[in-house]
C-alpha cells in the first residue's frame, strides 16, 4: 500500500508514518513545517525534542528509510500538490495538513481567516487532485468529534441520519454544531467532501477523532523516534497539558467546572485506527464517517486521574479550575456511537489510561528543565468572548 501523508512532520503524521513503514507500506510525506514555526511563535516548543525531518528519517533502519519520500510542500499550492500526487499515484491520502488549533483560530481576525481558508482550500485541492488524477484514491480526512458539539441525541457514526422535523421524516447530513472557527472549518471540509462524493463519487473516510494523548506507539521505542508533543494553550491538548503541569508542579487546570465530556484515545490507538481504516477502505465511491475514540471522560475526571498517577510518582499537584476561555456547555449529554473501528478489530483502549499517563510523565521528566522555560504559555489567554 502506498499512502501520501500530508502533515507528516506533525504529532500524528510522524507516528502514522512509522506505523505504516513498520507494516511494510510505502509512505510519501509532505509538510510545510508550519507547526514547528507556529509553536515557536507562541513562545513554546515540543516538550520532547525532535530532530529535523531528515534527521528523523536517518534514524530509521535502512529498509524503512528507503520506503519513505519527503517533500516540502504546502497543500494550498495546487500545482505542486498535483505534481507530487501524479508522480506517486498513491492508493490513499491522509490529510493532517490543516491548521489544528481552536484557540489559534479564535485569537484574531487574521488567524480566523487563515484557519478557514487554509483548511477549506487545502481539502478542496485534494478533492480536485483526486478527481483529476485518479478517482479511486481513498481520501482520509482528519476531522474532529468537535464538529458535532455536544448534542442531546446519540452521535451516530454515519454521514446521513434519519430525522423527524415537524412531523416529516428526511435523511439529513448528521447535524453539526462547532465551537470555534477551527471546528467549523472541519465541518465545512466534511460538507465539501460529502458534495464531492455525491457528484464525483470520491471514496472518502471522514474521521471524527477525539483528543489524542500519549508519547509512545509500538514503533516509538526510543527518543530518536519521538513525535512532537505540544502542551501550550494554543497547540496542546488537554491531557498532554495536564501531564506537563504535573511535571512542573503546576496546578492542573480544567477550564470552568470541568464537566465537559469528550471522547479520547491514545496515540497508539489512533495510529492503529488509522492503519485499519487505510487497509480497509470503504467500497469504491462510498463515504464512510467514523467516530474515532476509545473512551469518554470529563476533563475534570482526567485531571483527577493525572493527579493520582502523578502522586504515585511522587509529584504533588493541585487541581485548580480556571475561568473557561471557551464558549461551551460544561454540563451536557454526550453519547457518541462507536461501531466501525471495533468492527475492524480495534475493540477498546489497548492500553490502560492510568498506565499511559505514567508513561507520559516518565517520558517528560528528563525534559523538566526544557519545560520550565515555557511555564508562561500554558495558562489560557485566548478568550472566545473577547
Nearest alpha carbon to residue 271 among 294, 247, 301, 238: 294
Q: Single out the segment in contact with a copy of itself by CB under 8 A; choices: 35-43, 134-142, 171-179, 345-353.
A: 171-179
Q: Does 178 bind a copy of itself (CB under 8 A)?
A: yes
Which residues, other chains included, contact 121 with Cβ-Cβ below 8 Å and sequence gap of 6+? 76
Q: Which of 35, 111, 115, 144 is catalytic?
A: 144
**Residue 171 Cβ vs a copy of itself, minimum distance, rounded to whole Å:** 8
Residues 253-269, buried b or exposed e (16+ Cβ, 10 A)? bbbbebebbbbbbbbbb
- Separation CA 46–CA 339 (nearest Å): 34
Nearer to a copy of itself, 63 or 110 (CB): 110
Q: How many residues bind a copy of itself (CB under 8 A)?
A: 45
Classify the C-alpha dihedral 124-127-132-133 as positive or negative. positive
Do 148 and 209 meet the contact criterion of CB atoms below 8 Å apart? no
CB of 188 to a copy of itself, least distance (A): 5
173 belongs to the binding site for a copy of itself (CB under 8 A): yes
Q: Is 34 in the site for a copy of itself (CB under 8 A)?
A: no
Query: Considering only 25-33, 172-180, 236-244, 263-271, which stretch makes contact with a copy of itself by CB under 8 A?
Result: 172-180
Nearer to a copy of itself, 162 or 318 (CB): 162
Q: How far is the CB of 233 from a copy of itself (least distance, A)?
A: 18
Q: Tell me whether residue 316 is one of the annotated catalytic residues.
A: no
Whether the Cβ atoms of residue 340 and residue 288 lie closer than 8 Å to each other:
yes
Pick from 169, 283, 316, 369 the residue near a copy of itself by CB under 8 A: 169
Nearest distance from C-beta of residue 206 to a copy of itself, angstroms: 16
C-beta separation of 50 from 57 below 8 A: no
Query: Which listed residue (11, 104, 184, 229) binds a copy of itself by CB under 8 A?
Result: 184
Active site annotation includes 182: yes
Q: Which three cell numbers stand for residue 359?
A: 508513561
User: By 3-state DSSP, what share of the chain in percent is helix, strand and coil, each rounded to 5?
Assistant: 40, 20, 40
* 328 CB-near residues (< 8 Å, 6+ apart): 150, 179, 256, 260
Closer to a copy of itself by Cβ: residue 57 or 116: 116
Site membership for a copy of itself, residue 33 (CB under 8 A)? no
**In the window 298-357, what residues touch a copy of itself (CB under 8 A)?**
327
What is the distance between the alpha carbons of residues 30 and 69, in angstroms, rounded to a whole number? 8
Using CA atoms, how far apart are residues 256 and 328, in angstroms rounded to an integer?
A: 10
Supply 32's cell numbers: 510545510
181 near a copy of itself, rule: CB under 8 A: yes
Strand 2-6: give its sheet, edge to edge.
68-72, 26-31, 2-6, 92-95, 138-144, 204-209, 287-292
Of positions 65, 153, 313, 366, contacts a copy of itself by CB under 8 A: 153
Catalytic residue selected from 174, 186, 215, 287: 186
Where residue 345 falls (left for φ over 0; alpha for ψ -120 to 50; beta otherwise) is left
Q: Which 108-127 residues touch a copy of itself, going by CB under 8 A?
A: 109, 112-113, 116-117, 120-121, 124-125
Q: Which residue from 65, 77, 195, 376 is in contact with a copy of itself, where contact means CB under 8 A?
A: 195
Identify which of 265, 272, 260 has the alpha carbon closest to the alpha carbon of residue 295. Answer: 265
- Which residues, 126 to 145, sit near a copy of itself by CB under 8 A? 128
Catalytic residue among 71, 104, 148, 182: 182
Q: Give the nearer residue to a copy of itself in terms of CB position, either 64 or 176.
A: 176
Is residue 186 among the annotated active site residues? yes
Q: Which is nearer to a copy of itself, 369 or 386 (CB)?
A: 386
Looking only at the bridges linking them, the beta strands covering 287-292 and 261-266 are unpaired
Provide the annotated active-site residues: 144, 182, 186
Contact residues toward a copy of itself (CB under 8 A) are 78, 109, 112-113, 116-117, 120-121, 124-125, 128, 151-154, 156, 161-166, 168-170, 172-173, 175-179, 181, 184, 187-188, 191-192, 195, 198-200, 327, 384-385
Amino acid at each position: 500500500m502506498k499512502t501520501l501523508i500530508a502533515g507528516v512532520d506533525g504529532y500524528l503524521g510522524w507516528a502514522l508514518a512509522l506505523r505504516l513503514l513498520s507494516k511494510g507500506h510505502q509512505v510519501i510525506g509532505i509538510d510545510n513545517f508550519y507547526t514547528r514555526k507556529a509553536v515557536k511563535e507562541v513562545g513554546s516548543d515540543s516538550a520532547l525534542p525532535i530532530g529535523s525531518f531528515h534527521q528523523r528519517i536517518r534514524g530509521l533502519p535502512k529498509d524503512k528509510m528507503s520506503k519513505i519520500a519527503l517533500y516540502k510542500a504546502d497543500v494550498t499550492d495546487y500545482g505542486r500538490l498535483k505534481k507530487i500526487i501524479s508522480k506517486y499515484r498513491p492508493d490513499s491520502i491522509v490529510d493532517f495538513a490543516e491548521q489544528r488549533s481552536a484557540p489559534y483560530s479564535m485569537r484574531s481576525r487574521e488567524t480566523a481567516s487563515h484557519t478557514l481558508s487554509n483548511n477549506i482550500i487545502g481539502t478542496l485541492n485534494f478533492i480536485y487532485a483526486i478527481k483529476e488524477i485518479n478517482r479511486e484514491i481513498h481520501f482520509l480526512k482528519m476531522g474532529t468529534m468537535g464538529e458535532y458539539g455536544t448534542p442531546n441525541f446519540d452521535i451516530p457514526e454515519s454521514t446521513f441520519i434519519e430525522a423527524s422535523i415537524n412531523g416529516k421524516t428526511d435523511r439529513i447530513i448528521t447535524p453539526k454544531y462547532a465551537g470555534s472557527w477551527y471546528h467549523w472549518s472541519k465541518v465545512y471540509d466534511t460538507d465539501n467532501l460529502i458534495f464531492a462524493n455525491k457528484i464525483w463519487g470520491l471514496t472518502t473516510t471522514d474521521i471524527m477523532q477525539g483528543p489524542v494523548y500519549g508519547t509512545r506507539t509500538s514503533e516509538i521505542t526510543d527518543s530518536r523516534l519521538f513525535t512532537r508533543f505540544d502542551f501550550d494553550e494554543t497547540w496542546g491538548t488537554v491531557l498532554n497539558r495536564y501531564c506537563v503541569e504535573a511535571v512542573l508542579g503546576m496546578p492542573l487546570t480544567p477550564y470552568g467546572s470541568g464537566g465537559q465530556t469528550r471522547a479520547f484515545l491514545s496515540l497508539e490507538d489512533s495510529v492503529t485506527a488509522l492503519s485499519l481504516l487505510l487497509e480497509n477502505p470503504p467500497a469504491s465511491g462510498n463515504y464512510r464517517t467514523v467516530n474515532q475514540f476509545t473512551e469518554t471522560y470529563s476533563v475534570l475526571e482526567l485531571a483527577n486521574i493525572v493527579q493520582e498517577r502523578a502522586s504515585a510518582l511522587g509529584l504533588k499537584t493541585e487541581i485548580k479550575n480556571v475561568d473557561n476561555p471557551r464558549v461551551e456547555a460544561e454540563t451536557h449529554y454526550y453519547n457518541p456511537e462507536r461501531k466501525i473501528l471495533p468492527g475492524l478489530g480495534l475493540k477498546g483502549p489497548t492500553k490502560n489510561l492510568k498506565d499511559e499517563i505514567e508513561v507520559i510523565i516518565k517520558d517528560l521528566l528528563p525534559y523538566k528543565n526544557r519545560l520550565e522555560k515555557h511555564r508562561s504559555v500554558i495558562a489560557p489567554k485566548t478568550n472566545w468572548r473577547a
